[in-house]
Amino acid sequence: MKITFLGTGTSQGIPVIGSNHPVCLSKDKRDKRLRVSILIEWDDSVYVIDCGPDFRYQMLRANVTKINGVLFTHEHADHVAGLDDLRPFSFQLGSVPIYAQKRVIEDLSYRFEYVFNDENKYPGAPSVQQNIIENNEFKLQNLSFLPIEVNHGSLKIFGYRFNNVAYLTDVKTINVEEKEKLKNLDILIINAIRYKPHYSHLNLAEALTLIEELQPRKTYLTHISHYLGFHAEVEKILPRNVFLAFDELVLEID
């Protein structure tokens, strides 16, 4: 299996438009972060988690020519705003399978009414095949995905465990029962926004405390704000086996 980080930035991305913050002006490629998303490839299967405003460029940059579907974590714009750019895949497939909780599908069908409403459809509009998922294991092709329900402020959102990998973004807290699903991970991918506390995201200290508790073999941090600092500097202060993800990083997993 191969995981590609398509984007590792928080909601505004890095650089932030108009910002003179040193991290936004950095020449280090690893300090340029598009909105969060990963690409998961195994056998002949290709899925993305989330489809934010940078989706089109992310597909071009990673040279993705086909996908089998999109899993959504939640309905915030930085995770869904690229839905219209599913068009080329929709033309290939007829409609693109999407997977999300009921609330998220409802929110998407409101925001992208022209995609979800099949009556008098504009011929160029994309089509999606809706798959509502609940907090139960489900299969995509031959691989099992286990949703992990996490708290993003007051919003209940999904992360996913597949093989011994878990992808959790926009987490603030995780209830005890859901933490049980995160034992024996080879790889944990989790959000850490900045140093200062945030009402709906883990800051770095909170993320490290959670990592200490869950004990994954390796952790990659994502959904990063420019306030976290330069990639090269932050990497130096992280514990062993905890890394900052960066755009275009590829993990090969046996």
Closest contact distance (angstroms) between CB of 66 and Zn ion is 26
Q: Is 75 in the site for Zn ion (CB under 5 A)?
A: no
State which of positions 120-159 bind Zn ion (CB under 5 A): none
Q: Closest-CB residue for Zn ion?
A: 76
Q: Is 76 in the site for Zn ion (CB under 5 A)?
A: yes
Closest contact distance (angstroms) between CB of 13 and Zn ion is 11
Closest contact distance (angstroms) between CB of 253 and Zn ion is 24
Contacting Zn ion (CB under 5 A), which of 78, 85, 178, 247? 78
Q: Point out which span in 22-30, 72-80, 118-126, 210-218 binds Zn ion (CB under 5 A).
A: 72-80
Q: Is 206 in the site for Zn ion (CB under 5 A)?
A: no
Q: Which of 251, 181, 192, 250 is nearest to 216 (CA)?
A: 181
Q: Which is nearer to Zn ion, 85 or 170 (CB)?
A: 170
3-state DSSP of the chain: CEEEEEECECCCCECCCCCCCCCCCCCCHHHCECECEEEEEECCEEEEECCCCCHHHHHHHCCCCCCCEEECCCCCHHHHCCHHHHHHHHHHHCCEEEEECHHHHHHHHHHCHHHHCCCCCCCCCCCEEEEECCCCCEEECCEEEEEEEEEECCEEEEEEEECCEEEECCCCECCHHHHHHHCCCCEEEEECCCCCCCCCCCCHHHHHHHHHHHCCCEEEEECECHHHCCHHHHHHHCCCCEEECCCCCEEECC
Closest contact distance (angstroms) between CB of 70 and Zn ion is 15
Q: Which is nearer to Zn ion, 1 or 16 (CB)?
A: 16
Q: Which is nearer to Zn ion, 76 or 231 (CB)?
A: 76
Q: Which is nearer to Zn ion, 33 or 76 (CB)?
A: 76
244 has which bridge partners? 221
What is the number of residues in the chain?
254
Q: Point out which span in 22-30, 75-83, 113-121, 136-144 binds Zn ion (CB under 5 A).
A: 75-83
Closest contact distance (angstroms) between CB of 74 and Zn ion is 6
Contacting Zn ion (CB under 5 A), which of 54, 75, 170, 206? 170
As given in the structure block, the two tokens for residue 165 are 């990998």
Q: Which is nearer to Zn ion, 6 or 93 (CB)?
A: 6
Q: How many CA atoms lie within 13 A of 189 on its CB side?
A: 29
Closest contact distance (angstroms) between CB of 76 and Zn ion is 3
Closest contact distance (angstroms) between CB of 170 and Zn ion is 4
> Residues in the site for Zn ion, rule: CB under 5 A?
76, 78, 170
